[in-house]
Structure 1
Amino acid sequence: QLLLMERKLQEVHPLLTLCGQIVENWQGNPIQKESLRVFFLVLQVTHYLDAGQVKSVKPCLKQLQQCIQTISTLHDDEILPSNPADLFHWLPKEHMCVLVYLVTVMHSMQAGYLEKAQKYTDKALMQLEKLKMLDCSPILSSFQVILLEHIIMCRLVTGHKATALQEISQVCQLCQQSPRLFSNHAAQLHTLLGLYCISVNCMDNAEAQFTTALRLTTHQELWAFIVTNLASVYIREGNRHQELYSLLERINPDHNFPVSSHCLRAAAFYIRGLFSFFQGRYNEAKRFLRETLKMSNAEDLNRLTACSLVLLGHIFYVLGNHRESNNMVVPAMQLASKIPDMSVQLWSSALLR
């Protein structure tokens, strides 16, 4: 857990393998063993999600979901510990259920299964409302904020901007009730506002929100995510070349990329491709986008795949190769409809006219 918090992801993998063996070989009462297994699997799943590996995580996530189903059928009164240490529970059973919903939402958001993310968010929020009537544990508010952060991003992708704004307001209210929550989530809140501003085409406001978020975060992955989105704002504005070159150098996916996230590195290649496209350097843009496609296909990053395909289609369209353009745009449209990603659907439709 400490290695994950310190972002030492290379050191985590062998240690997780060893922990898995220890948990499987541990002899104890069923509920205690399942509780330990849930703890281990949550660490394993979050490790893969931190690394942006949404395809590789699927077997662990499935195990975790099966494990929580098993634990919910076991009764606490089955525990008759002979050792006081066996009384330790890292989380109550009901909290574990919400946590499993939460990591499922995180996975669905990264992979681009947005309807699934919505379904599990609804289940988790319903469960949280029930729990908060009887339990004032601060972890429940943390779960609620993280769930809302993810579903807000889903809303923006699916084109439900007004709902996203209402939920951003909910996150603000929750954070105002707790200085700890506000401190931990201020950067994320400004990032969400920046993403909302992009969705309504207010680029100056988006830049202000992302710049504030960068000042507030020390989290490497969040920093890289913000910089990637800020770069997209500068590309759209078209007159911020100095700032843009400086940002692109800091998230260069070809060398010294600042984080080990597969997903963020693939996104950095996409941003390079987008910039090259706007500069009219089409061969260079195609190279970057093919790299994005290779990486996104390897880990089922559906949104990045759809975005890369439609941009490649746009390049071929500009070059007058309409047949090759359609070969890219049609699958992009199909994938965007499945996600569903409103902006890619609109972009694809415009190219297919």
Structure 2
Amino acid sequence: MTVSFQNSVDAAKPLLRKAIQISQQTPYWHCRLLFQLAVRTVGLTRCPGAGWVGGSLGWAFLAAVEEPAGQQLHTLEKDLVSACDLLGVGAEYARVVGSEYTRALFLLSKGMLLLMERKLQEVHPLLTLCGQIVENWQGNPIQKESLRVFFLVLQVTHYLDAGQVKSVKPCLKQLQQCIQTISTLHDDEILPSNPADLFHWLPKEHMCVLVYLVTVMHSMQAGYLEKAQKYTDKALMQLEKLKMLDCSPILSSFQVILLEHIIMCRLVTGHKATALQEISQVCQLCQQSPRLFSNHAAQLHTLLGLYCVSVNCMDNAEAQFTTALRLTNHQELWAFIVTNLASVYIREGNRHQELYSLLERINPDHSFPVSSHCLRAAAFYVRGLFSFFQGRYNEAKRFLRETLKMSNAEDLNRLTACSLVLLGHIFYVLGNQRESNNMVVPAMQLASKIPDMSVQLWSSALLRDLNKACGNAMDAHEAAQMHQNFSQQLLQDHIEACSLPEHNLITWTDGPPPVQFQAQNGPNTSLASLL
């Protein structure tokens, strides 16, 4: 019996269904066909990943199940309900034929789809059952640990998608310990006695990269940017080695998601030129794969929007964010983009109608559109920022205290630093120098730890003015020197970034990424906001 996967979906699915009907006495083939029909129905190769500040700036492509020879299938349709039903049938069949291992694979794959659909009431009992099956199953050590990795990856990405950076730490630690265990195990050539167990999820080398990836995601959300850089470097080095021997599309997907996160890291730490070159690298990877571009186009335009904000190209930032909104139907990414677009309108100061419309759609006090703790905290911050610019300081303080409460609860360090420095600025404007200092000093300490160049610049300016007002000449001079140093670093990086030929990417809003770039004579953007 041969099924050609080069045929159209409409032709392949009836053949697969017929094969499933007549294969019930051959467990391996029956399970394999159920997996493949589910993959044909909806991509089991997709699992939610979490981006910084709670927005999902990437979808980690996970090969749900492979036979030992390792053939990967990709999404052709998106019928999640039918796919979940098929996986449920597979799980029950695996239970009947005594394969708890493959039953766990079916259930974990179903859990992944439910997470994608945000059906959390169904996910929680399913993951609880999966955890019990995984812990109780006694079999091939590598297969057992790979099940644990699959299970823990789903748990970690679920927490990160919800913006729960602190709550995820125990699961993430277990995942990291699990991958260390796998790396010490030798592949067992002995075939399982039950033919239904002849499946595996991912090669352990791919699992190592995946664990690096979710660690980077966590570090970005938590504001541990040097740690994010460290694990990104390790993961990219591992990927380069793997890609010399393996042309699996999953590796390019991992690479793109890692780059998406490290680009955000660069923008925060004041390395815009490097970030821009890495955005160009993502463009090049997407040029090689239409599917990759289709899955990451919205994220790519979002990154360009963030870059535009960092170099004060607000019109281009608006165009990039608007393009990204048009290209995504992912709720967390949508909320992330809208939050950033609102901050653009606040800075422009003359887009009140559009701004009010956006703020109403991400109102953290009433029916916030997503469940992400981190994004809701960010929405409170944007509200506080808008109230500050409107001169409504008491209202701004209320919003910012909500942000602080939420960010402290989940160790969202960058939101904490931003809220502290803005509160410090408000107290300074109100003439409460003591309270201002109580906000700005910890903001500077936290920003230095992240490190966040913009918050350091802002904090040093406030410390300079505060100390000058209090007559602390020496401290004022020290803060002024820090501010000058930060200004010079940002200015130099700004000029370098805007002089790169890749800077022209900011005008790209339609179609595939441009292949070539024309060099510019120099920056054409205002530097006033940096100084």
Asked if these proteins are the same fold (TM beyond 0.5), I'd say: yes
Other-structure match for 1:229 = 340
C-alpha contact (below 8 Å) 1:224/1:264 kept by paired residues: yes
Give me the whole-angstrom Cα distance separating, in 2, the residues matched to 1:243 and 1:99.
Answer: 40
- Shift, 1:25, TM fit: 1.0
C-alpha contact (below 8 Å) 2:225/2:451 kept by paired residues: yes
CA deviations over 1:194-219 (Å, ceiling 9, x no partner): 00000001111100000000000000
- Shift, 1:284, TM fit: 0.3
Residue of 460, 475, 482 corresponding to 1:349 = 460
SS of 1:77's equivalent in the other structure is: coil
C-alpha contact (below 8 Å) 1:157/1:343 kept by paired residues: yes
C-alpha contact (below 8 Å) 1:277/1:285 kept by paired residues: yes
C-alpha contact (below 8 Å) 2:417/2:446 kept by paired residues: yes
CA deviations over 1:232-266 (Å, ceiling 9, x no partner): 00000000000000000000000110000000000
> By percentage of residues, which structure has more helix?
1
Other-structure match for 1:120 = 231
Give me the whole-angstrom Cα distance separating, in 2, the residues matched to 1:318 and 1:144.
Answer: 45
Which deviates more, 266-275 or 12-21? 12-21
Other-structure match for 1:289 = 400
- Shift, 1:227, TM fit: 0.1
Give me the whole-angstrom Cα distance separating, in 2, the residues matched to 1:32 and 1:78.
Answer: 12
- Shift, 1:79, TM fit: 4.2
CA deviations over 1:148-204 (Å, ceiling 9, x no partner): 000000000000000000000000000010010000000000000000000001111
C-alpha contact (below 8 Å) 1:31/1:79 kept by paired residues: no
Q: After the TM superposition, which residues 141-152 of structure 1 pair with which residues of structure 2 at under 5 Å, given as runs?
A: 141-152=252-263
- The 1:10–1:276 alpha-carbon spacing in structure 2 relative to 1, beyond 3 Å, is farther
- Shift, 1:12, TM fit: 2.3
TM-score (norm 1): 0.99
Other-structure match for 1:62 = 173
Overall identity of the aligned pairs, in %: 98
Give me the whole-angstrom Cα distance separating, in 2, the residues matched to 1:230 and 1:350.
Answer: 26
C-alpha contact (below 8 Å) 1:53/1:299 kept by paired residues: yes
- The 1:198–1:43 alpha-carbon spacing in structure 2 relative to 1, beyond 3 Å, is same
Residue of 318, 332, 356 corresponding to 1:245 = 356
SS of 1:171's equivalent in the other structure is: helix
Give me the whole-angstrom Cα distance separating, in 2, the residues matched to 1:11 and 1:297.
Answer: 29
- Shift, 1:19, TM fit: 1.5
Give unmatched runs, 5+ long, in structure 1. none
* Residues 1:194 and 2:297 aligned together: no
- Deviation >6 Å, runs of 4+: none
- Shift, 1:10, TM fit: 4.2
Larger Rg: 2
C-alpha contact (below 8 Å) 1:29/1:79 kept by paired residues: no
Number of positions where the alignment pairs a residue of Structure 1 with one of Structure 2: 353
- The 1:10–1:342 alpha-carbon spacing in structure 2 relative to 1, beyond 3 Å, is farther
C-alpha contact (below 8 Å) 2:443/2:459 kept by paired residues: yes
Give me the whole-angstrom Cα distance separating, in 2, the residues matched to 1:320 and 1:30.
Answer: 65
Give me the whole-angstrom Cα distance separating, in 1, the residues matched to 2:198 and 2:121.
Answer: 33
CA deviations over 1:268-301 (Å, ceiling 9, x no partner): 0000000000000000000000000000000000
CA deviations over 1:46-79 (Å, ceiling 9, x no partner): 0000100000000000000000000111111264
Give me the whole-angstrom Cα distance separating, in 2, the residues matched to 1:85 and 1:193.
Answer: 47
Other-structure match for 1:263 = 374
CA deviations over 1:115-172 (Å, ceiling 9, x no partner): 0000000000000000000000000000000000000000000000000000000000
Give me the whole-angstrom Cα distance separating, in 2, the residues matched to 1:337 and 1:76.
Answer: 45
Give me the whole-angstrom Cα distance separating, in 1, the residues matched to 2:456 and 2:338.
Answer: 25
- Shift, 1:27, TM fit: 1.8
C-alpha contact (below 8 Å) 1:32/1:86 kept by paired residues: no
C-alpha contact (below 8 Å) 2:191/2:198 kept by paired residues: no
CA deviations over 1:11-52 (Å, ceiling 9, x no partner): 323322222122111121211110100010000000000100
- The 1:323–1:92 alpha-carbon spacing in structure 2 relative to 1, beyond 3 Å, is same
Give me the whole-angstrom Cα distance separating, in 2, the residues matched to 1:314 and 1:15.
Answer: 48
Give me the whole-angstrom Cα distance separating, in 1, the residues matched to 2:268 and 2:254.
Answer: 22
Q: What's the Cα RMSD here?
A: 0.8
Other-structure match for 1:208 = 319
Give me the whole-angstrom Cα distance separating, in 1, the residues matched to 2:130 and 2:363.
Answer: 35
CA deviations over 1:69-102 (Å, ceiling 9, x no partner): 0011111126441112323111001000000000
